[in-house]
Chain A
């Protein structure tokens, strides 16, 4: 299981909002254990999809200088569940950001329909804060995440299909 819970950005307005999609596929092998014979996307991983969407929005707002760490899930609520073939969209809004922390709100959509809300607080963690043998360089914003944003920016105008007209 890789740790990347969004597939592509479909919107990105610096310091304001971002939307990313995640397709759910039977080819994701962890699904076959949740549950055997009837794969269902775990809600905890939907929360992570929002955290990755919102976390990149927060990080980009300050030039990816800080380590943006999920510190609190204010609330996460889901109506129903998602299965292979569904396309999830995470719409994140940056509510507040300062030196120490940021707050985001977000909607989770399944095939264009509202299925959840996830509101988060992120902490900006640097070496001075926690004295926990943190790496010298930013450890959160790996190429994996930065490339997602770069792909979106270079694809703007080229169009990534997000809706197969379900």
Chain B
């Protein structure tokens, strides 16, 4: 299905301004959901529900925001992801930009992977596959 990038970004922007109560100006492509936009864990669920509705897509658990990495001992050593963990995360999130993260894959920096751009990319991928 042909995907209009601007339209996707604009609808994602609306979802995030509604779900997080932020101004559209703050919802730039690089903005991180947690750090910049103040999203909490319930907001992540709210965002998934709204995206499903806005784009008529089904988002299976963990597909947009993987949630099986941190509680797996093969993937985490101390405060960093193991090489296996990093690979697993990259496979699970083809929609994320790992250029900053892979140099220092610390657990505390994982939330920075969840940017507005990550969501836009995910939705575009999903719509193309539909």
Q: Does a CB–CB distance below 8 Å link A and B in the complex? A: yes
CA distance A71 to B45 in the complex (A): 10
| Contact (Cβ within 8 A) A95 B49 | yes
Interface positions, chain A 47-99, Cβ under 8 Å from B, are 71-72, 74, 95-96, 98-99
| Contact (Cβ within 8 A) A121 B61 | no
Residue numbers in A under 8 Å from B112 (CB-CB):
none
Interface of A is mostly: strand
Contact of A72 among B18, B43, B52, B61 (CB under 8 A): B43
| Contact (Cβ within 8 A) B42 A96 | no
Interface size class of B (residues with CB under 8 A): 10 to 19
CA distance A74 to B45 in the complex (A): 12
Contact of A99 among B42, B43, B52, B61 (CB under 8 A): B61
Interface of B is mostly: helix
Interface positions, chain B 4-32, Cβ under 8 Å from A, are 18-19
Known contacts A96-B49, A96-B52, A103-B49; A123 and B61 CB within 8 A of each other? no
Q: Which B residues form the contact surface with A (CB < 8 A)?
A: 18-19, 42-43, 45-46, 49, 52-53, 61
Q: Which A residues form the contact surface with B (CB < 8 A)?
A: 71-72, 74, 95-96, 98-101, 103, 121, 123
Task: List the 10 shortest-distance A-B pairs measured between CB atoms, nearest first.
Answer: A71-B42, A101-B45, A103-B49, A72-B42, A96-B49, A121-B46, A72-B46, A100-B45, A121-B42, A123-B42
